Structure 1
Amino acid sequence: MSTKVGDLSLIGLSSVQEPLIKQKHTPENYSVLAAIPPFLFPALGTFLFGYEIGATSCATISIKSPTLSGISWYNLSSVDVGIITSGSLYGALIGSIVAFSIADIIGRRKGLITAAFLYLIGAIVTAVAPVFPVLIIGRVVYGIGVGLTMHAAPMYIAETAPSQIRGRMISLKEFSTVFGMVGGYGIGSLWVTVISGWRYMYATVIPIPVIMAIGMCWLPASPRWLLLRTLQGKGDVESFQEEAIKSLRRLRGSVVVDRAAEQVDEILAELSSVGEDKEATICELFQGKCLKALTIAGGLVLFQQLAMTGVAIIVIDKLGRRPLLLGGVSGMELLGAGILFCVFGVICVLSLFFIYFIVPETKGLTLEEIEAKCL
């Protein structure tokens, strides 16, 4: 009897084993200039997330200084400093919960516009906070923007990027977070020796959410989201399809003017074929076909957090996802030979088997084709 990849009946995984490097997929036509803004403006949101991490590390030094804080309540306890540091994370948790509930209602674009306004309000409130509680309120509001961004940005980028560069765009989105951290530490180091420098650290980025909001207002809604609303009976079919065609033409540039309607029909047909005609509930995530996708996504995140680092921006769209994942964990398993790294070696071996037997290749596929493979 032949071995099948992911033959795990308990979790509904039954995809057939695939070659590591897939055959070529028909590429989409697109304009490079048209593909940049749909990545750039959402990526500003992830940059602001990273910036907050770096700036806060420096701000906690400034805010506790009797001579440089510029406030009378500088004598903060370790708990107070911890609340300042984690305030945005509490907000991000709230934002993530809210995003889960409203993401398909307001869409990715409006979600990012809302996040930009929350970033702006949070940064202003934090920068001008007269007392400790107001500072925390500003941090939480900023964090809610982070939660919305972390949900909407990757979805908008994935749904609007051409399939052959989607992996690179999402990888660059992660890079923008790291770049934001570097920027936060850099700006923070410039202000840390200035009186009330912590206020300037947070105020410095105020123009960025304004640019982000303007950019997202200018960008069109995701064609895929528009068609999802059509299938779910949330509006007039013809008007949504027409809007999706206009959106796709803007996102791909003049090279697809003649094929936009055809591509929209293809996306609509593929969405229908993978069962996107109804909204899923939380319980359905842990049942049937959804459980397979949840296992793949959750397993990759788990193993990445336990043992993996690094971003393969340049080669991800050339080699595919599975070869990079397999090569990465194999290399770490071989290099982690010391006793202190035995645990990580075991984790890498487990992740190697998980990726090889369960994770499908998605290089160059449309989102609908990926769904068909994962569900």
Structure 2
Amino acid sequence: MNEPKFAFMNKSYTLFISFIVALGGFLLGFDSAVISGAISGIRTYFEMSDWELGFSVGCVIFGAMAGNIVAGPMSDRFGRKNVLLFTAILFTISAIWSATATTYVTFVIARIIGGVGIGGAILIAPIYIAEIAPPKLRGSLVSLNQLNIVIGISVAYFSNYFLKDLEGESWRWMLGVEAIPAFLYFIALFAVPRSPRWLIQRLNLVEIARKILIRIGGKEYAQITIDEIQRGIAKKKPAGTVRELFTGKMSTIMIIAFGIAFFQQITGINAIFYYAPTIFEQAGGSTDSSFLQAIVVGLTNLLFTLVAIRLIDKLGRKPLLIIGTAAMTIALSMATLAFNNATYDVNEMTLSKIENKEMRAALSALEGQSFSSQKEIFTAVSPLLNEDELFSFKRNEIKNFISINATLVLIAILLYVAAFAISLGPVMWTLLSEIFPGHIKGIAISVVGFFNSLVSYTVTQFFPWELTNLGPTLTFAIYAVLALLSLVFVNRYVIETKGKSLEQVEELLIN
């Protein structure tokens, strides 16, 4: 009679501490998406070029790289919990400083500080959860981190929408409000125990770890887990080095890790989240409708992350990756098709949308003409405008002339986000928390996380330039090809880890 109740209570406790730790993902998601609403304000206030805008958005990833590099070794030395407390402090400082910045340089520094917090939280939260979760719940619980990321993204889009019409510099409120959840996260972490695996592996505090494990799964579960950890310790080598990652039997693991980390970002997900309103404006939407569509993107991301959490321990990691990457390829191809079929019409109505009278007068020479691509209209416009006017036209005015199937663009973006949310989003972090041997996990996940952030930065930095110079058709076509390559990679290299203990996964991969 008591056994089901006891099992439920253990599951509830594990869920409770996993959810608190995963709140770092909420801050990560919020920080990633909130900048999308502030782009117009910061570009105007700091008088940014495309390159400066890309850097101010993407510089957070430089901080994440630093966080990636130091978080793993620091968590091995000082514990997972202590590193997470430090990330909460960084998020709080970054939010307040970026909201009050008065120069471009101080704004960038504040963003980088937040990036260090992101780099630490995105690596250590999944490690902690994987180390405390029973094998049959591990995929779902680790995915709570991704769930909180997408909740953070959705909340940021809602927050931006409701703050955008504030008088004065609304972008400051958009960025500063993050300090509230960051401080609450810092307080909540004090309710979380230290990782039992870390306590045994690093400090040999078996009895303290036993008490935590008993609370998670009972005495029998605690003893079985301790025995597994100690057997693993007996087999383990001394703490690993970066050089070891690229030699011998680790090569297979690193192919999987680097490959999945590369394709998670190179397929353009952060371009969508960071620039969602900008993309919808490129499809001819108004500012209000673009912010509302960004909210729909966030809610879609949230819904399908819940689906992934439901399926990851039932269907498995690899099937979700195959389904998701295939759907991403289809979605990005749809977006490419929509922009490719767009036309750009110069007529009385579209010209009236241009506020600059001199530019409007110059472009009136093209009235009555229709162009089949951005490249065509840019070629026709170039002789009529000076360099500054042409730059402004490409960045701000081109959206006024487009005639496009905006519904198809919205469906494509929503399908892409849904596919990412059931696959590369949550599954990558689950896999990375599972596949590395314990003696080298901290440094390995830092190296792979650094690489993941580097790819993310590249996408984020170049996206505004791509939209202006390559146009949305070619930009989305490139992402579609990369999504197809990710499907091929997953099918060829990724293994299934569903239902296995961390020690069993290690033995499978090493052998």
Q: TM-score, normalised by structure 2?
A: 0.57
Given the alignment of the two structures, is residue 363 of structure 1 paired with residue 495 of structure 2, yes or no?
A: no
Please tell me whether the aligned partners of residues 120 and 206 of structure 1 are also in contact (alpha carbons under 8 angstroms): yes
2:71 paired residue number: 99
Q: How does 1:208-287 map to 2 (within 5 A)?
A: 208-229=181-202, 235=203, 237=204, 240-250=205-215, 252=216, 255-257=217-219, 259-273=221-235, 275=236, 277-287=237-247
1:61: how far off? Answer: 1.7
1:306: how far off? Answer: 5.8
2:488 paired residue number: 350
- Cα deviation digits, residues 15-37 of structure 1 (max 9, x gap): xxxxxxxxxxxxx9562320222
2:149 paired residue number: 177
- Cα deviation digits, residues 235-286 of structure 1 (max 9, x gap): 4x3xx11121122234x1xx5146524432232223433x2x4100000000
Please tell me whether the aligned partners of residues 119 and 141 of structure 1 are also in contact (alpha carbons under 8 angstroms): yes
1:110: how far off? Answer: 1.0
The answer to which of 206-215 and 143-152 deviates more is 206-215
1:113: how far off? Answer: 0.7
Q: SS at 1:319's partner residue?
A: coil
How far apart, in 2, do the equivalents of 1:360 and 1:334 lie?
24
How far apart, in 2, do the equivalents of 1:264 and 1:59 lie?
49
Judged with a 3 Å threshold, the aligned counterparts in structure 2 of structure 1 residues 354 and 302 are, in CA distance, closer, same or farther, namely farther
How far apart, in 2, do the equivalents of 1:335 and 1:101 lie?
39
Decide which of 132, 151, 155 is 2:104's aligned counterpart: 132
How far apart, in 1, do the equivalents of 2:165 and 2:143 lie?
35
How far apart, in 1, do the equivalents of 2:112 and 2:173 lie?
18
1:4 paired residue number: none
Judged with a 3 Å threshold, the aligned counterparts in structure 2 of structure 1 residues 102 and 354 are, in CA distance, closer, same or farther, namely same
1:189 paired residue number: 161
Q: Over alpha carbons, which structure has the higher Rg?
A: 2
Please tell me whether the aligned partners of residues 19 and 144 of structure 2 are also in contact (alpha carbons under 8 angstroms): no
- Cα deviation digits, residues 60-97 of structure 1 (max 9, x gap): 222345xxxxxxx5434444433321231121111112
How far apart, in 2, do the equivalents of 1:320 and 1:92 lie?
29
1:200 paired residue number: 173
Q: How does 1:317-336 map to 2 (within 5 A)?
A: 317-328=313-324
Please tell me whether the aligned partners of residues 292 and 374 of structure 1 are also in contact (alpha carbons under 8 angstroms): yes
1:364: how far off? Answer: 1.4
1:188: how far off? Answer: 1.3
Decide which of 54, 60, 77 is 1:88's aligned counterpart: 60
**Alignment gaps of 5+ in structure 2:** 1-5, 270-303, 338-476
Please tell me whether the aligned partners of residues 168 and 313 of structure 1 are also in contact (alpha carbons under 8 angstroms): yes
Q: SS at 2:77's partner residue?
A: helix
Given the alignment of the two structures, is residue 300 of structure 1 paired with residue 260 of structure 2, yes or no?
A: yes
1:120: how far off? Answer: 0.9
1:130: how far off? Answer: 3.6
Decide which of 147, 161, 166 is 2:138's aligned counterpart: 166
1:15 paired residue number: none
One-letter amino acid matched to 1:364: G
The answer to which of 174-183 and 220-229 deviates more is 174-183
How far apart, in 1, do the equivalents of 2:43 and 2:501 lie?
51
How far apart, in 1, do the equivalents of 2:222 and 2:69 lie?
35
How many residue pairs are counted as aligned between the two chains?
325
**Alignment gaps of 5+ in structure 1:** 1-27, 66-72, 230-234
1:32 paired residue number: 11
Aligned-residue Cα RMSD (Å) equals 3.1
How far apart, in 1, do the equivalents of 2:263 and 2:50 lie?
32
How far apart, in 2, do the equivalents of 1:94 and 1:324 lie?
31
Q: SS at 2:249's partner residue?
A: helix
Please tell me whether the aligned partners of residues 223 and 248 of structure 1 are also in contact (alpha carbons under 8 angstroms): yes
